[in-house]
Amino acid sequence: MILKTALRAVAVAAAVLLPFAPSTGSAQEWRGWNIHAADYPNGRGLDRFGELVGQRTNNRIRMRTYHSAQLGQQDEAIQQMRLGSIDFANFNLSPFNNLAPSTNVVTLPFLFRDVAHSHAAIDGVAGQEIARDLEAIGIIALSWFDAGARSIYTTRPVRTPADLRGMKIRVQTSDLWIDLMRALGANPTPLPFGEVFTSLQSGVIDGAENNWPSYESTRHFEVARFYSTTEHSNVPEVLAVSRQRWQRLNEAERNILRDAAREAATLQRQLWAEREVQSRQRVVAAGATVIEITDRSPWSALMAPVYEKYTGSNPRLSNMVRQIRELR
Ligand code: BDP
């Protein structure tokens, strides 16, 4: 009798637990890519993601992040994730511009009013559209990291678009970025992130553009000492996993990953806000000159052709722009 009850209890427990059983019996090792150092907000977010997934799967899914671009530069890492040799990563959305059309929308210059506005967009409809496009190319978006506002920094002072004329400015590999820089009068030079420092040093380029934490952590401020607060783009970042891995997970595991990614993004966003302030202070203390651009209208006025080219003839994308603008 006791045995029967015990057996029944086991059967009931098995029935309840079965849908949550691991999709594969053995432990899995997942390789994660990060372009930044481990102590950068994004590195901390990725490590938290791995920790939570490990805990909640009883270490059946063990995640290890390779920081500081050990597994390659961003464009290569994206290809590797599509092929399934990188399992998870944090990517900026601009390197997807030529692959996933809706990522162009959130890269567009002067689109977001502030951080809250960019969160509302990416945590809402824009994020859903982007996740759909990324899935189609083999990448599953789980949550969104902050990347703050990007501004132009140069080896000579820049106060107006006229000052930028003919200067070689590094951009990420994206047609939109090339057109954006051209529209500002600069000479865009696509280069991997890891080559920017030496290219500035050797004079291959005269400047680049990025947020405060990247300007500081890469030490670009040592070679391009003028940071003009153009704040021309607030392109967000994604915490993603490879579709190949994702397809082999059961629903319970997917939920664990989704929750862990959301919690990691909450941490990253908090750390990001702190790091932006610290990075600005550090570069100023180290002698960088901040050129405050208070009136951005001469800059944004040049952007109409970029909007036209990337969204004008595409109802889906121009609709996204409209929806984002209407967000309050
Ligand atoms: C940083 C992003 C990183 C990009 C880099 C870049 O976090 O993903 O690779 O900019 O400009 O802000 O390439």
Instruction: Kindly report, residue by residue over 206-224, the tens digit of the pLDDT.
Output: 999 999 999 999 999 999 9
* Residue-number span of the structural domain to which 210 is assigned: 150-234+279-326
Instruction: Kindly report, residue by residue over 100-135, the tens digit of the pLDDT.
Output: 999 999 999 999 999 999 999 999 999 999 999 999
Specify if 123 maps to a domain: yes
Q: Which two tokens stand for residue 162?
A: 């006229």
Three-state DSSP class for 12? Answer: helix
Specify if 12 maps to a domain: no
| Ligand 1 centroid to residue 246 C-alpha, Å | 25
Specify if 83 maps to a domain: yes
The percentage of the chain sitting over the pLDDT mark of 70, rounded to a whole number, equals 92
**Range name among 11-20, 74-83, 191-200, 229-238 with the lowest pLDDT average:** 11-20
Instruction: Kindly report, residue by residue over 128-140, the tens digit of the pLDDT.
Output: 999 999 999 999 9
Same domain, 215 and 297: yes
Domain count along the chain: 2
Specify if 154 maps to a domain: yes
Which residue has the CA at smallest separation from atom 13 of ligand 1?
Answer: 193
Which residue has the CA at smallest separation from atom 8 of ligand 1?
Answer: 92
Same domain, 34 and 122: yes
Q: Has residue 23 got a pLDDT over 70?
A: no
Write out the E strands in 157-285. 168-171, 187-190, 207-210, 226-233, 237-242
Mean pLDDT of the chain: 94
Provide the edge-to-edge strand list for the sheet that holds 150-154.
Answer: 187-190, 168-171, 207-210, 150-154, 226-233, 289-291
| Ligand 1 centroid to residue 210 C-alpha, Å | 7
316, amino acid identity:
R
Please state, in angstroms and as integers, the Cα–Cα distance from residue 172 to each residue in 40, 98, 107, 162, 312, following that order.
20, 11, 11, 22, 23
Same domain, 132 and 225: no
Specify if 31 maps to a domain: yes
CATH number of the domain to which 171 belongs: 3.40.190.170
Which H or E run contains 127?
Answer: helix 125-136
Return the ligand 1 atom nearest residue 210 CA: 12
Return the ligand 1 atom nearest residue 170 CA: 11
Same domain, 105 and 216: no
142, amino acid identity:
L
Instruction: Kindly report, residue by residue over 260-314, the tens digit of the pLDDT.
Output: 999 999 999 999 999 999 999 999 999 999 999 999 999 999 999 999 999 999 9
Same domain, 108 and 203: no
Specify if 6 maps to a domain: no
Residues 23-50 as b/e (b if ≥16 CB within 10 A, e otherwise) read: eeeeebebbbbbbbeeebbbbbbbbbbb
Same domain, 219 and 241: no
Asked whether the CA dihedral 45, 51, 55, 57 is positive or negative, the reply is positive
- pTM, 2 dp: 0.92
